[in-house]
Amino acid sequence: MQKRLFTASFLATSLLWAAGAPTAALAQDRFPSKNVRWIVPYAAGGGSDFLARTIGQAWGGQVHQPIVVDNRPGGNTAIGASETARAPADGYTVLSADNGTLIFNPVLYKSLSYNPGKDLAPVTLMGRFPMILVAGPGTQARTAKEFLAEAKASKEGINYASAGAGSPHHLAMELFKSEAGLKLTHAPYRGAAPALADVAGGQIPVMMVDLAAGAGFIKGGKVRPLAVANATRLPQLPDVPTFGELGLPQVQAAALVGMVAPAKTPAPVIAALNKQVVAAINEPAVKQKLIDFGVEPVGNTPEQFQALIQSESTRWHKLIKDLNITLD
């Protein structure tokens, strides 16, 4: 009797799996069947926008559907994130989400218009923008060691710029400040470009910037790269040491930009999105274009992206709480 029950149960399970498997396969094969709206929570022209448009063009060519980039800046990415969270969970609305969207905002703000853990589903980490400490004529330091000595000797402390309060650039500098025991005062700007302009002009001594935003200033000799907040030296800046080489191995920071979808998007659609976007990232021409821009291309699984979000949340939430950084 037990054998018959087991056989019947096994057959029923097999039939259900067989019925479901084609559905999942069809969901992937037929997706997308119309244009996809890709929300970028920043203004056109920045690093996240470049990443979306470069990958989106290749992705659209592969699936023969328009990928429409929709810039929705504001609220430290909260406007775009909230709009994505409220969108139909069908895969036809996706969001470029960085560590501000997914990791920093929930502890920087007491109240937030979206909950990244409940409202958004990870698809893939698209790329990393490693942070670089750069200096202008506002400091005499020619190396990171000289800047550390200058900062430690200053009784008043030294000002630093950032692309905005709560940005990866801001928090990377706070991490450096904490690890090195420096007295530094934050001067937030509305974007990396105006902050870099003031560093280059000598109005403010230093800032953390990603290579994508700072490459022109660095190549033009307007700012000096002192150290990279990365595990290894950057191939684009082989002569610039890591903070680890300076005895500060914990100073590692990057703007992490991934793709997310509304939380209830079906798993087969998430799988289709992941497969297609990763394929676009791995196109040789796309990958080289991203590297040339200053992005480290990634393209991992939803599970790997989720694990990274969790580990980064543990690290940065502690720093933000320890330093009592709030934006409310």
Count CA within 13 A, CB hemisphere, residue 75: 18
Q: Where are the domains of the chain?
A: 33-128+256-322, 130-246
Beta-strand pair 184-188/158-162 = parallel
3-state SS, residue 215: helix
| pLDDT attached to residue 155 | 86
> Which residue ranges in the chain fall short of pLDDT 70?
1-29
| pLDDT attached to residue 217 | 95
Fold: same for 33-128+256-322 and 130-246:
yes
Query: Which DSSP helix (H) or strand (E) runs through 182?
Result: none
**Joined tokens for residue 301:** 């699984």
Angle at CA 192, nearest 5°, toward 113 and 245?
105
Query: Which DSSP helix (H) or strand (E) runs through 42?
Result: none
Which tens digits make up the pLDDT trace of 124-176?
A: 999 999 999 999 999 999 999 999 999 999 988 899 999 988 899 999 999 99
State pTM to two decimals.
Answer: 0.86
Look up the CATH number of domain 130-246: 3.40.190.10
Distance CA 184, CA 150 (A): 11
Which tens digits make up the pLDDT trace of 221-237?
A: 999 999 999 999 999 99
Query: In Å, how far from its chain's centre is CA 52?
Result: 12
| pLDDT attached to residue 43 | 86
Look up the CATH number of domain 33-128+256-322: 3.40.190.150
Distance CA 267, CA 326 (A): 35
Distance CA 97, CA 265 (A): 16
